[in-house]
Structure 1
Amino acid sequence: MSRQSGYTLIELIMVIVLLSIVATVSVRFVGLSTQGALDTSTRQLRALQSVVISEQLTRELREAFPLSIRTNGSCIEWLPLDAGTNYLRRTRGPGFDDIEIAAFAQPPPTGDTRAVIYGYGTSTADLYAASDPGPVSSEIAAIDNSGSPATITLASSHRFSSNSPARRLFVVGEPVSICQSGRFLYRYSGYTPAAVQPEPPPGTPEVLAASVTGTVDFRVLPATLQRAAVVQFTFELESPDGEETTTVSQEVQIRNVP
């Protein structure tokens, strides 16, 4: 009589137990590997977001009229610089509404822009209030860039309070602000300048960043004899699960041209 071979019940149970252990370890290993890949991807995305946000802020601040940058902690505000040239003659009577200039390489827009001459020795509020006399004119009504000399015509009369040593004239646009509100960082533009910094400014905000945690810190260090003005800003971006944060800290040097 032939002898039959096969598995005993104990052997079968041992095989099942071993396969279960191997499967559990494999699933755990795959799960950890997948989670690690997802965490790495999330960190890279936050790092990319931080680079984009800081680069946008840096570029805009470098195009600001240097004396106009001001902050109250959670908001930073500035007047964007649209163009620059040399003036030949400031406004004079009887109308006090025409400025003779060297022609612009590319004429700036009119209507929502103003001319600035010098501005050192005055408060930041004077740059936004456009006091008369003062360093900032009323709105520019027209620019004749083809005349000899070229001229800027103001919407109303204005007397400039001082001369520029280099006879420099700048054209600035409407204010721009970056403000934090909860987990969002907003950009405001297209509103009327005011002597007191608004918080937040009027108008419809544009989302610059989301998932911001903590308090965004804006600081402005005025220019000294050894260096130009410096803007510092620090903020943190939080992961969706709230377990990790990425800290961004940046310094922007602002050129100061009288």
Structure 2
Amino acid sequence: MRRQRGFTLVEMVMALVILGIISLAIGSYLQLGTQGYVDTVNRDRAQSIARFALEKITREVRHAAPNSISTSNSGTCLSFYPVRYSGFYQGDPDSAAMSLVPAIGSSTEWKAINTQADLALAIGLPSATEYEAKRNTINSVADGTEQGELTVNLAASPLYSSPAKRAYVYSDKVEYCLAGNLLTRQGNRIAEDVKSVEFVAEGAGLQNNGMVHISLVIEKANTDEVFSYNHTVQVINVL
């Protein structure tokens, strides 16, 4: 009878060890690729969050009323009053009947201003504190004597005048602030995993525009990666 040969125990053990080493190598390779993909997604997400936050702040700050920007809480909060409509007034600003020609906003929109309690009119206000302290509500807006002209009645006569004869209708204050690891707008989250944020506002004058410098740092807790962003926004100061 012919002898039958098979695997010995030692051969089987060696085969299992080799198979385990190969499987471990393949698993480590796949894990490395997967982890690289996850890290890339996390980095892209962090950058998207930062870009969204900076773009949103930039768009709003660029439409802030002149001299209405201020910082608080050691630079972790930025506040300003956004412009809704603007126009040019004629003569001297008067509460009883001020003649004004709209620059932003149609005549129909201007005539509806007095029905919106959050809107007020500013002329030549020099600082952010006076936007609230000297808040001047609009009693009524009607057609003027000439085409395209409006007659605006205010609650009180403006305390200041504008070198360029400009009048701005602004709404309630907008505030961006750091709360824990969240960057918020009016208390609503717009960015997460924020390690720090700093707002620096440079004052504007009659011959120069204002500047807002933003330093934003985002840290991903699961990877300990830190992303730093520095951005500057120019604020048109047209009084």
Q: TM-score, normalised by structure 2?
A: 0.86
Corresponding residue pairs, total: 228
- Taking the aligned partners of 1:19 and 1:3, their CA distance within structure 2 comes to 29
Of 124, 128, 141, 2:128 maps to 124
Task: Give unmatched runs, 5+ long, in structure 2.
Answer: none
Change (3 A) 1:16 1:146: farther
What do residues 102-149 of structure 1 show as CA deviations (whole Å, max 9, x unaligned)? 145423433321112223xx343223210xxxxxx5211332256644
Match of 1:60 in 2: 60
Q: What pairs up with 1:231-250 in 2 under 5 angstroms?
A: 231-241=212-222, 243-250=224-231
Change (3 A) 1:165 1:233: same
Match of 1:221 in 2: 202
- Taking the aligned partners of 1:225 and 1:161, their CA distance within structure 2 comes to 18
Change (3 A) 1:66 1:123: closer
Aligned residues of 1:90 and 1:98 also touching (Cα < 8 A): no
Match of 1:98 in 2: 97
Q: What pairs up with 1:159-170 in 2 under 5 angstroms?
A: 159-170=157-168
- Taking the aligned partners of 1:222 and 1:128, their CA distance within structure 2 comes to 18
What do residues 7-31 of structure 1 show as CA deviations (whole Å, max 9, x unaligned)? 2222222111100100111111111
Match of 2:87 in 1: 85
Of 166, 188, 212, 1:206 maps to 188
Give the SS at the match of 1:5: coil
Give the SS at the match of 1:23: helix
Letter aligned with residue 170 of structure 1: Y
- Relative to structure 2, which stretch is displaced further, 228-237 or 2-11? 2-11
Change (3 A) 1:138 1:228: closer
- Relative to structure 2, which stretch is displaced further, 215-224 or 63-72? 215-224
Give the SS at the match of 1:102: strand
Give the SS at the match of 2:167: strand
Q: RMSD between aligned alpha carbons?
A: 2.2
- Taking the aligned partners of 2:127 and 2:88, their CA distance within structure 1 comes to 23
Q: TM-score, normalised by structure 1?
A: 0.80
Change (3 A) 1:227 1:99: closer
Match of 1:191 in 2: none
Match of 1:114 in 2: 120
Aligned residues of 1:232 and 1:250 also touching (Cα < 8 A): yes
Letter aligned with residue 191 of structure 2: A
1:62 CA displacement: 0.5
Aligned residues of 1:103 and 1:146 also touching (Cα < 8 A): no
Give the SS at the match of 2:60: helix
Give the SS at the match of 1:63: coil
Task: Give unmatched runs, 5+ long, in structure 1.
Answer: 131-136, 189-204
